[in-house]
Amino acid sequence: MLHTSSRFYRKHKKAWYGRQTRGAARTRLFSLSLILLLLVIMHVSAMMLVESLNLWEAIWLTLTTITTVGYGDLAADSFVGQIATVAFLYVPGIALLGQFLGEYVDYRITSREQRLQGLWRWNMKDHILILNTPLVGGDTYLRRLIEQISSTPELKELPIQILTPAYPEGLPPALQAMGVVHHSGTPTNSTNLEAVNASEAKYIFVISHNAASINPDSQTIDILEHLNSIPLKAFVVAECVDDDNRKRFLRLAADTVIRPVRAYPELVVRSMVAPGTEQVMEDMFTYHGAHQNRYQVSLKGLLWKEVVCAIMQAGLGTVLAYIKASGELITSPRANDEIEAIALIVMVRQDNEPSAESINACLGSLV
């Protein structure tokens, strides 16, 4: 427990220090910029007054001097002009420019490290925010999920950010290459949710961190309670392991609730772009409520719409596909296609599952 607390303290101290460092670096860069600008203006003014140069000549001389390029095409000829050049540029100007460039390079390097380590605040808007990562197979699942999002027209243009403590040293290269960014921290913290602009997100997906734990939904409930206290405009999708918690999720911040089906990330995507379809898809994966059955039949010369309408009007289910004698599965044929089938795939209700005899008797009336 002491080790965990110490690690937690060091991690948050590092994030706090990173924010302080960025702020201090920006302040220093801004201060140096103002001083440099003031020195440049003073030298340009001196060259125009003392050396009788026009504005562009004075600027040109000032810039070639302070950057130590020194073309020699223009120079301060008078004693007063030379003293002004020494006073404004040779001593403070060149030194400050070198310091400014050094500070800027350090700032860029520090910023890059903090982006990689998840300590950067991206200030995103209308983005997809993913909270948590699966404890097992997280990298693979996230990669497949991002690929699915990127191939969906309604979502592919939206930036993606992940809030998770799983990558303190940076996202895996495969995810970085996909343009995903992350913030290192737990989603059960209001400060972290603010850092990832949860209130400005367009979609929020809450992943069940560990579906095998004793109380698998406890962390998700904690996250949803925090989200519930934020004025959200996002559509929130939450994974639920225990079906008894679904109503509680919906009372909090969730707009839709799905089961964690790691092998099929399209379930998440469909719940975002076509809410409601995820429930149909869930039933295809689980023997719950409705499921798919295969029924052996012998059909020839019938139209697809005749088969579908007959089964549906008889209240036996919804025909999804048929299987040809060659074993080829045909899904979503055209209504007027003439079919030859040895089997049908039918979506049926668990509490009213038809027998093979009733399916064949229904189709027999069509012959």
- Fold classified for 2-116: Helix Hairpins (1.10.287)
Three-class SS state of 181: strand
pTM (two decimals)? 0.65
- Fold classified for 128-285: Rossmann fold (3.40.50)
Regions of the chain where pLDDT drops below 70: 1-23, 280-290, 367
Q: How many angstroms separate the Cα of 22 from the Cα of each of 27, 124, 276?
A: 9, 18, 44
pLDDT at residue number 110: 73
Q: Give counts: helices (H), strands (E), the chain.
A: 13, 10
pLDDT at residue number 289: 63
pLDDT at residue number 251: 94
The answer to whether the beta carbons of residues 91 and 65 sit under 8 Å apart is no
> Where is 204: in which H helix or E strand?
strand 203-206
pLDDT at residue number 288: 56
pLDDT at residue number 116: 76
pLDDT at residue number 12: 46
- Fold classified for 291-364: Alpha-Beta Plaits (3.30.70)
pLDDT at residue number 362: 92
What are the pLDDT digits (tens) for 62-98? 998 888 887 778 888 888 888 988 998 888 888 888 8
Domain extents in the chain = 2-116, 128-285, 291-364
pLDDT at residue number 15: 45
